[in-house]
Amino acid sequence: MKAHHHFNDPEWDGEPLEPEPKAPGYPRPDPEAPDRVNERPEPAPRRQRAKVRLADGKERNIQHMMCTSFWHPDGTPMSAAQFMEQLFGKLPEFFRDEDELRAIWSAPDTRRRLLDGLSEHGFGGDQLSEMQRVIDAEKSDLFDVLAHVAYAMPPLTRDARADHARAQINLEFPEKQKAFLHFVLQHYVRVGVEELDQDKLPPLLKLRYGNSIADAVAELGRPDEIGALFAGFQRYLYEQDAV
């Protein structure tokens, strides 16, 4: 009896054991450490911008200190501002005003001729895509690059242009054509204006209808009508009131 008295008897129970160390990963809280529970994470650094004033007296915004890959014809690097100035000086050789730019860009064949002409003068697709990054318009269209450089127009996103086009499509086309054009717009928003090249029509039809051209013809019309449908709807993307 009274065995509980042995709990305090060193000869019966031995010397008290040292407490077992805690498992790794659970450090004892430091009472001197500051309380970080309510601390907010550091905000992401804001993109620094610089302004470029071109010969028309209007300013354009570019991302400051951004690594770019623009080059003079002699192989020496140039800044984004220098490239923008050169492009600004060359664009009047390709279109007279904003309306002509919209008209050219709205059709796949004239858009391709414009891009080929710019490329021949050192303003190729890679350089224009780089300028797209510089003006923070990666979700926009290459049209917006040219319009921003030429006329200081603020870029619109491809999403906004597609929304405007969908509204027009819903008013003007029957259901089956409407469904195909909505499918095309999804690819345009995700990839870019290159999805609207005329040579992209066959792969888009194959994605939509598989290998059954008969199904595409049954829903959309004869091949020449499908081509006209694909080219014609694109004007809705570049109308002046697209927002």
Q: What single string gives the DSSP state of each residue in 166-179? A: HHHHHHHS-HHHHH
Q: Are residues 112 and 66 in the same domain?
A: yes
CB-CB contact of 170 with 145 (8 Å): no
Dist. CA 102–CA 237, nearest whole Å:
10
Q: How much is the pLDDT for 200?
A: 97
Q: Are residues 173 and 207 in the same domain?
A: yes
Q: Is residue 92 part of a domain?
A: yes
Domain boundary among 151, 180, 200: 151
Q: How much is the pLDDT for 206?
A: 94
Q: Are residues 143 and 205 in the same domain?
A: no
CB-CB contact of 169 with 236 (8 Å): yes
Q: How much is the pLDDT for 59?
A: 81
Q: Is residue 16 part of a domain?
A: no
Taking alpha carbons only, the member of 171, 181, 182, 164 closest to residue 231 is: 181
Return per-residue pLDDT of the chain as tens, 243 residues.
Answer: 444 344 344 443 444 445 444 444 444 555 555 554 455 555 544 556 677 778 787 888 887 555 667 887 777 888 888 999 999 999 999 999 999 999 999 999 999 999 999 999 999 999 999 999 999 999 999 999 999 999 999 999 999 999 999 999 999 999 999 999 999 999 999 999 999 999 999 999 999 998 778 889 999 999 999 999 999 999 999 998 765
Domain boundary among 120, 151, 182: 151
Q: Are residues 138 and 207 in the same domain?
A: no
DSSP structural state of residue 218: H
Q: How much is the pLDDT for 85?
A: 94
Q: Are residues 102 and 141 in the same domain?
A: yes
Q: Is residue 36 part of a domain?
A: no
Backbone angles phi, psi at 42, to 5 degrees: -60, 130
Q: pLDDT by residue (tens digit) across 1-57?
A: 444 344 344 443 444 445 444 444 444 555 555 554 455 555 544 556 677 778 787
Domain boundary among 127, 151, 175: 151
Q: Residue 56: how many CB atoms within 10 A of its CB?
A: 10
Q: How much is the pLDDT for 25?
A: 46
**pTM, full prediction:** 0.76
Please state the domain count of the chain: 2
Q: How much is the pLDDT for 1?
A: 43
Q: Is residue 208 part of a domain?
A: yes
Q: How much is the pLDDT for 28?
A: 54
E-assigned strands of 93-232?
none
Q: Are residues 125 and 202 in the same domain?
A: no
Range of the domain at 60: 49-151
Q: How much is the pLDDT for 11?
A: 45
